[in-house]
Structure 1
Amino acid sequence: MSSFIRYCIIGLGTVLTWLVGTVPLCANTTGEEETIETQDSRKETKEERTFFRQLKNKVKFTASPEELARARKAEELMQHVFHYVKEHNLDSAQFTSDVYLRHFMRTRRKGFIVRYIPGMLRLERGINSYLSEARLRFQFRPPGEIDCKVTAYHTTARYQKAQRLTSMGRFNFQIYDSKLFLDCILNPLNHRNRKFYRYTYSFTTQLNDSTAPSARIQIKPRFANDQLVEGYIDINTETGAVKNFFFRLQYQLQANLCQRTTRERKATKPS
């Protein structure tokens, strides 16, 4: 019984020592956060202070002032992206978009079962690498009608045809919608999904004086989930239009979605 009491006293002393040692750290961390908030909100309105206070609560308390500044600038730029569709009336407008598509495919076939999977590409035996390029023209008409025409096509795959690209399938080519796929993949460019992602500002570039600056935003999911993507986007800092993007996802298969070309969009009023 005496040994049991001695162990209890030792354990209680250890807990008290740990609590006393952590109190100054917590107080110091809270003080630093209040100092940062006071310095950043001197010339801000009440609504802006509320918004950035909520943003700061999303970031871990161990983040440095530089990381907080990058996250804050990313949030400001993403506001232009989230409101781009509404400000430019893309919901109701009819427009034509020319898209250059290029993808690499590496296959490894061992058995013959894949030949009998419905909708599966006809794969050659062994390990093979393929390159495909295509020029597509999309016509978008309300209420959600999409026509696709292949104007140019080239591939090194023996059994792949150009008609396969005209089928929308599960893909959604309207990059500002809430989903990248028609079923589950949540789009980080839509304001409804912002709570699932972390946005960090990287850098700003400008080719010449006649072009608008372009900012790169790194995108990471807040938690591991097959419905979320990871990558980056390059946006126009003046309008919020997405110029380039690269998304990496793993949903039933691992894939990279990449669009690096300038799209020519011609908006017309609906008839």
Structure 2
Amino acid sequence: MNISLHGKRAIVSGSTAGIGLAIAAGLAEAGAEVVINGRTEGRVLQAIKHIQSKLPGAKLIGVAADLSTLDGASRLFARVTRADILVNNLGIFAPKAFFDISDEEWQHFFDVNVMSAVRLSRHYAPQMVTAQWGRVMFLSSESALQIPTEMVHYGTTKTALLAVSRGLAETLAGTGVTVNAVLPGPTRSEGVGSFFQQMAEEKGVGSEALERDFITENRPTSIIRRLATVEEVANMVVYLASRQASATTGAALRVDGGVVRAIA
């Protein structure tokens, strides 16, 4: 299968590191013009240099904006007026006991993980409908299906994204615009790597051993028995962005290494 996204413009929110950066690189490699987004100009420029070092001919646009806020989203809308592909990747996570999560933290998680995706989809999807072609994706998580007790607020926001994704897909039925959710499992992203490194230092063990123990103790249903790579997640997104994925919509596609014990 030869995936070509030449002539398409993609926006990837939260794409300066981890899964978002890998998705941006994958879309650029397929020929798309990609909008790189992060909260600071420095991080955005660093991400652009990283991609260009591997793909010298990549077409990239950098927009520094905090998309968890209306002001930040408005800044993106003013700079990038059109998109063919929208990947709502921006998200945060933080392990915390349920009884210690404040109202402010709940609201912050919803602003970052859910409302950023709602705002961007509400703005760009109508343009895709007019063009009779478009791709909208939401980065959810296996935690949407198996709410982690160590971060209930995170899992709840990821479940919300599944509802938004399916609802928007049905709203856009017959328009030529597909809408899907992607559910990564435990993935070796920058944030997760830092989390494991910190835990390893606190426990006085190696990070690789800690990762193996995490899978064994916390995700024992994993079939691949390891963390996924960010590139493995990005590959699914690149496919969904392609013309070849025209009949895939309203779906929640897992890249979880088999963690979720379900046939469908």
Q: TM-score if structure 2 supplies the norm length?
A: 0.26
Query: Rg: which structure is higher?
Result: 1
**Higher RCO, Cα 8 Å, sep 6+:** 2
Structure that is richer in helix per residue: 2
Structure that is richer in strand per residue: 1
